[in-house]
Structure 1
């Protein structure tokens, strides 16, 4: 019993590390770490301070937002306190009854801080006001007003830029969690599905892939991240996709494809990562964005095909059924790409436990007029 539990634990642990050790996560983040970066290189981040602030996490931006205003209010409050001190305006200095203060209503550090806040934020409650008896105080008011305007413009620009980042629009573009291999248009193809969750178009959409794997060359050199181009297309081509509804993209597995030498029983033993990129421009904001995802061998299902999700109603409207977005069904598929091209009728139903979670076999009787993408 102990050996069985230990075996299950090791298997689960290996599967966990295998799934999580990838360059690009399912949501598009790159899992990479930079080491031994020279100290002088960090100065380049300060030179490009705008990009550094925009790419900073929200928690630090909000902290910087609060600190920039609070610290400047405190700094100028100390200046106002110093001006009032030199003029003898403070309470503990016991000014005479006929004393003319530089700033009306400033007689301590707290009131100096309140005056600094009112000056920089242009609140002006009317309780504290600057007089014309101290020319230096007038200069400080001008400096604080200009400095406060600069901080307002900079922080508003950073927050607006972070809110309008193109990667936020990319959150509404979704890839299928699994890829499938099945016959399509007389060829063996690897297919994935992508959907635009908004009704607004993505202009100039272009999709492509990179196969990442470790390659050992004949001269003994080992390339840890060898990249091979993977072409994806739809029936209408591969450039300028009409991305108004979910698309099924496929890669033809021919003799030039790196998947040609793989088979149904060896696919999950391979060591590679398929990274898929979608470059497009948002129609509403005209901002370019890139959406990424990746597939490892355990996320590729051999002998399955995606269920149709697009139909046409009796009223003539096109309907997208997202409940079938990630659902698949088994189809007759050759054991390997070589079998598909050389042995006619050599097919295999892949029912060996590679179904995605929540798989349901459904009969679709209403989708008679399915539009092919």
Structure 2
């Protein structure tokens, strides 16, 4: 036991496991095979949907199905929808001309045709394109000779408007999807665990690269792990909500500059009983979800990322990335993911709380706190 002004602190947690020692001790554990992660670093969900027997449900929402398709498939459908409609109505115009006798070379020249200058299927196809895309070159035109031609003209205009609305709307939605805006919402590559106000905290940094803000930004944090109920039911992917510390008692963010999200590891936290070594051995995944409304478009966007055990640095703290220069605040994104080692107990938050916490101790940075602590321990041992 070491003593500091009457405060009895156990030697096994008094910052004896600095970040470099913890990483060295857990290096072997981190190299073993881990379970597949649920969410990739870029936010893509690692879930494969198989054995779906009700495929027809996707056709009940055709527009969403088209938007969700890959770009190659969407462009193929976009092209084929216009080509098929042009060919379909080209056949209709050819049949109208054939039924009226306009394609007969022996027809008297004084007889008015249904469509002028329509003498073959090629000319019928060109006229179909002119009608649907409203080019109107003027060489071919509908006359008042045939009511069938007038009905086909009305029908093709209606179908053409529907095809344009659906396909152009699909292309617009794919280019303006919410996840496109999420590309400029960034998360730190690593999460850190260190002391803040005398309590162990799990921290992640999030930022926005654009000047246009994300309105009503909210953030959620979940811990994904295997679990077992009291009845013995195996939960292969249990989702546990994690509370993020906020003085306003809400998860809303004013994301005008990079923010460090902090989760206090208390008795309600799923990380409460995990030490630095336990964290490396445990197959858990921390999921972070950021949602908000894009200021310029009003579209709701969502950005996601996750951190597995190997991506959580115990005994580290984020380097400040915001500074004041010439009366304005400047953000240096080269420091966005940088961390520094700081003196941090290697024990769990549960054990730290049982030992009375570390309130009253003043810690410096990793460079000054660790050597001074070692000197105190050596002096205590000599005494």
How far is 1:317 from its partner? 0.5
Of 88, 94, 118, 2:101 maps to 88
Checking the alignment, whether the CA contact within 8 Å between 1:196 and 1:244 is kept in structure 2 is: yes
Equivalent residue, structure 2, for 1:30: 45
Equivalent residue, structure 1, for 2:372: none
User: Rg larger in 1 or in 2?
Assistant: 2
SS in 2 for 1:104: coil
Equivalent residue, structure 1, for 2:148: 136
Checking the alignment, whether the CA contact within 8 Å between 1:339 and 1:346 is kept in structure 2 is: no
Of 80, 100, 117, 1:67 maps to 80
Checking the alignment, whether the CA contact within 8 Å between 2:244 and 2:251 is kept in structure 1 is: no
Q: TM-score, normalised by structure 1?
A: 0.82
Checking the alignment, whether the CA contact within 8 Å between 2:63 and 2:166 is kept in structure 1 is: no
Q: TM-score, normalised by structure 2?
A: 0.80
Distance of 2:53 and 2:185 partners within structure 1: 37
Deviations 1:227-272 (A, max 9, x none): 2111123566543221101100111112322212222223211111
Q: Which has the higher contact order (CA 8 A, sep 6+)?
A: 2
Superposition CA RMSD, Å: 2.7
Checking the alignment, whether the CA contact within 8 Å between 1:215 and 1:222 is kept in structure 2 is: yes
Checking the alignment, whether the CA contact within 8 Å between 2:276 and 2:347 is kept in structure 1 is: yes
Of 332, 339, 346, 1:328 maps to 339
Cα distance, 1:165–1:17 mapped onto 2, change above 3 Å? farther
Distance of 2:306 and 2:202 partners within structure 1: 14
Write out aligned runs for 1:1-373 (5 A). 18=34, 21-39=36-54, 42-90=55-103, 93-234=105-246, 238-313=250-325, 315-337=326-348, 338=350, 340-341=352-353, 342=355, 344=358
Unaligned runs of 5+ in 1: 1-10, 352-373
How far is 1:23 from its partner? 1.1
Checking the alignment, whether the CA contact within 8 Å between 1:234 and 1:247 is kept in structure 2 is: no
Unaligned runs of 5+ in 2: 1-26, 368-383
SS in 2 for 1:171: helix
SS in 1 for 2:172: helix
Deviations 1:170-212 (A, max 9, x none): 2211111110111112211111000011112222222121111
SS in 1 for 2:218: strand
Checking the alignment, whether the CA contact within 8 Å between 1:279 and 1:290 is kept in structure 2 is: yes
Distance of 1:17 and 1:120 partners within structure 2: 59
